[in-house]
Amino acid sequence: MIMALKDYVVRRTFIALPTLFAISVIVFTIIHAAPGDPFQFFLGFNPRVSMETIEFLREKYHLNDPIWVQYISWLKMLLSGNMGYSFITHRAVSDAIMIRVPNTVKLVLTAELIAILLAIPLGTISAVKEGGIVDNISRVISLLGVSMPSFWLGILLILLFAVRLNLLPTCGSHTTGMVYSSTWESIKDQIYHLILPAMTLGYLRTAYLTRLLRSSLLDVLSKDYIMTARMKGLKERVVIYKHALRNALLPFVTAIGLAFGFLLSGAVLIETVFAWPGMGRLIVDATFTRDYPVIMGTTMMTAVMVVLANLITDIVYAFLDPRITYD
Partner 1 sequence: MDEEEKEVLFDIRNLKVYYYTLDGVVKAVDDVSLKIYKGETLSLVGESGCGKSTLSLSLCRLVQRPGKIVGGEILYKGSEDILKYDEKQIQQFRGSKVAIVFQDPTSSLNPVFRIGDQIVEAITIHQALKGKEAWKKSYEALSLVKIPSPEDMAHSYPHQYSAGMRQRAMIALALSCNPDLVIADEPTSNLDVTIQAQILLLLKELKEKLGTSILLVTHDLGVTAQLADRVAVMYAGKIVEIGPVEDFYKKPLHPYSKALLGAIPPPHKDVDMLQEIKGEVSSLVNPPEGCRFHPRCEHAMDICTKKDPELIDVGNGRKVACFLYKEGVMK
Between 47 and 131, name the residue whose CB sits nearer to partner 1. Answer: 131
Should residue 34 be labelled a site residue for partner 1 when binding is judged by CB under 8 A?
A: no
Read out DSSP for 197-260? HHHHHHHHHHHHHHHHHHHHHHHHHTSHHHHHHHHTT--HHHIIIIIIHHHHHHHHHHHHHHHH
Tell me how far, at minimum, the Cβ of 18 lies from partner 1, in Å: 32
| Contacting residue, 231, 241, 258, 288, with partner 1 by CB under 8 A | 231
Tell me how far, at minimum, the Cβ of 268 lies from partner 1, in Å: 37
| Contacting residue, 73, 228, 265, 288, with partner 1 by CB under 8 A | 228
Tell me how far, at minimum, the Cβ of 247 lies from partner 1, in Å: 6
Tell me how far, at minimum, the Cβ of 6 lies from partner 1, in Å: 23
CB under 8 A: which stretch of 104-112, 158-166, 177-185, 242-250 binds partner 1?
242-250
> How distant, in Å, are the alpha carbons of 133, 207, 264 from that of 146?
20, 6, 17
Task: Please state, in angstroms and rounded to a whole number, the distance separating the CA atoms of residues 60 and 80.
Answer: 21
SS3 187: helix
Between 164 and 323, name the residue whose CB sits nearer to partner 1. Answer: 323
Tell me how far, at minimum, the Cβ of 314 lies from partner 1, in Å: 16
> How distant, in Å, are the alpha carbons of 18, 137, 168, 318 from that of 14?
8, 46, 45, 19
CB under 8 A: which stretch of 57-65, 167-175, 227-235, 260-268 binds partner 1?
227-235
Task: Please state, in angstroms and rounded to a whole number, the distance separating the CA atoms of residues 57 and 60.
Answer: 5
Residues 65, 243: contact at Cβ < 8 Å? no
Residues 6 or more apart in contact with residue 24 via CB below 8 angstroms: 75, 296, 299, 300, 303
CB under 8 A: which stretch of 93-101, 200-208, 231-239, 309-317 binds partner 1?
231-239
Residues 223, 172: contact at Cβ < 8 Å? no
CB under 8 A: which stretch of 65-73, 117-125, 217-225, 266-274 binds partner 1?
217-225
Closest CA to 207 of 259, 140, 134: 140
Count of positions on this chain that bind partner 1 (CB under 8 A): 20
Tell me how far, at minimum, the Cβ of 325 lies from partner 1, in Å: 11
| Contacting residue, 9, 20, 168, 234, with partner 1 by CB under 8 A | 234
Closest CA to 30 of 81, 67, 79: 67
Should residue 129 be labelled a site residue for partner 1 when binding is judged by CB under 8 A?
A: no
Between 155 and 318, name the residue whose CB sits nearer to partner 1. Answer: 318
Tell me how far, at minimum, the Cβ of 132 lies from partner 1, in Å: 12
| Contacting residue, 178, 227, 258, 304, with partner 1 by CB under 8 A | 227
Between 12 and 230, name the residue whose CB sits nearer to partner 1. Answer: 230
Dihedral, CA of residue 12, residue 17, residue 20 and residue 21, to nearest 10:
-160
Residues 6 or more apart in contact with residue 52 via CB below 8 angstroms: none
Q: Which of residues 243-302 bind partner 1 (CB under 8 A)?
A: 243, 246-247
Read out DSSP for 42-101? HHTT-TTS-HHHHHHHHHHTTTTS-HHHHHHHHHHHHHTT---B-TTT--BHHHHHHHHH
Between 155 and 238, name the residue whose CB sits nearer to partner 1. Answer: 238
Should residue 105 be labelled a site residue for partner 1 when binding is judged by CB under 8 A?
A: no
Residues that bind partner 1 (CB under 8 A): 223-225, 227-236, 243, 246-247, 320-323
